[in-house]
Copies of this chain bind each other. A is one copy, B any other.
């Protein structure tokens, strides 16, 4: 008898995937434990662990101590979106990137903003409004509030050579954040800035980032009509 040899964790993973896709292991079913699989595959338990752990991270397997490993009944697809700097997005499309700072103020934010950022309503923040261009055409609008208590250096930056988007990533590290994607009809102002009809459906990203317990920046990016965000499963 020739025992098949799976020497790398990737090959183990492929074999496991094959069994799932071939329905040898069906959704909800318990699969053998790591030790048994290691013996069957002719590799060490650590290798099997790596393969199964990775599959569990993508949502295809459910693993629990003592209960064992099961094929996920409802494979929750984990789509990983790369939220990069807008300049990179544009350049990846083979277009020339440019940006303009269209508005700037140091002022008290509206209640909604200070509340979301858990900052006192009495302290000033830096407000920035910018237009991102691809091949000279409007690509996205950026509205941003920057917490000057966390990033005081922002006061002295002109944001002309480098966009606020990019400057903050370099100078204001964050520990965590929330992000939300939605759709909204273009307001009059947005339509004018983006060169589209008022009411056009726009793709929107709202992001709020934190460093420890302090809000760093809150930004809303409104993309020109037709924008898509793609990824693979």
A8 at the interface (CB under 8 A from B): no
Q: Find residues 62-88 in chain A having any chain B CB closer than 8 Å to their own CB.
A: 73-85, 88
Say whether, besides A82-B59, A82-B77, A173-B23, A200 and B185 are in contact (CB < 8 Å): yes
Tell me if B79 and A179 are in contact (CB < 8 A).
Answer: yes
In whole angstroms, what is the CA distance A184 to B228 when docked?
A: 10
A175 at the interface (CB under 8 A from B): yes
- Collect the chain B residues with CB atoms within 8 Å of residue A177's CB: 77, 232-233
- Collect the chain B residues with CB atoms within 8 Å of residue A230's CB: 178-181
Tell me if B82 and A78 are in contact (CB < 8 A).
Answer: yes
A202 at the interface (CB under 8 A from B): yes
A interface list, Cβ under 8 A from B:
17, 20-21, 23, 27, 59, 73-85, 88, 166, 169-170, 173-185, 199-204, 207, 209, 211-212, 225-233
12 residue pairs of the A-B complex, CB under 8 angstroms, read: A21-B173, A21-B211, A27-B170, A74-B88, A74-B166, A77-B179, A79-B81, A80-B81, A176-B233, A178-B232, A178-B233, A182-B226
